[in-house]
Amino acid sequence: MSNPVKLAVIYYSSTGTGTAIASEIARSAEAAGAEVRVRKAAELAPQAAVDANPTWAAHHAATADVPAPSPDDLVWADAVIFGSPTRFGNIAAQLKQFFDTLSPLWQQGALADKVYSGFTSTGTRHGGHESTLLAMYNSIHHFGGIIVPPGYTDPVKFVDGNPYGTSHHAVFGPDLGSIDNDTRNAARHQAERVVRISRAIKQGSAA
């Protein structure tokens, strides 16, 4: 396309699961014709806390070159997919802190009429997958955004079972930070759906 959909993937991850999902979403969106920016919310935890967890410390170092998001990324984007691990059924402070910098754009109406979606991961099977995404979407209602959930619009969603967004049960152990094919398939479908609907809206607005 001469005027492709611009997608910002803005997420936080401490031990790598969110990074793996964000990477799959970015690859799938680019394959669907989107221009993609990937941004990782800045770390707020004390360095001592990070260093006390070897997996967290290793991931923090490995993603040090991923830019932090700025309000300009949302101005640029036609669509945004946010990602956060669950923190007691809510989004992580690191992503929430970024949300809290967006008031000037919100006051200008610059966050409205964009497509938004979300993904998450939890350390337990029923530890807040849905509540975290719903909490994330509360902010998007205030933005005046267009929430595009994956729903049950593809057979892969009947496998992962979450209509609100991609989510992953991150099991503690040597595979922490990786995702399985069910999650990859869900992330791919979500990315493709967001790009497709964003494209339709963008083309309709241009017409």
C-alpha to C-alpha distance for 18 and 51, rounded to whole angstroms: 19
Closest CA to 22 of 89, 114, 117, 119: 119
CA 19 to chain centre: 9
Per-residue pLDDT tens listing for the chain (207 residues): 578 999 999 999 999 999 999 999 999 999 999 999 999 999 999 999 999 999 999 999 999 999 999 999 999 999 999 999 999 999 999 999 999 999 999 999 999 999 999 999 998 888 899 999 999 999 999 999 999 999 999 999 999 999 999 999 988 877 777 899 999 999 999 999 999 999 999 998 877
Q: Measure the CA angle with vertex 178, ends 83 and 127; round to 5°.
A: 55
What's this model's pTM, rounded to 2 decimal places?
Answer: 0.96
State whether the Cα torsion 25-134-100-167 is positive or negative: negative
Phi, psi of 177 (to 5 degrees): 105, -10
Tallying the residues shown for the chain, one arrives at: 207
Distance (Å) of CA 175 to CA 59, 86, 109, 180: 13, 18, 42, 10
Report how many helices (DSSP H) and strands (DSSP E) the chain contains, helices first. Answer: 9, 7
Is-contact 94 42, C-beta < 8 A? yes
CATH for 6-206? 3.40.50.360
From the number of C-beta atoms within 10 Å of its C-beta (0-12, 13-18, 19+), residue 76 rates as middle
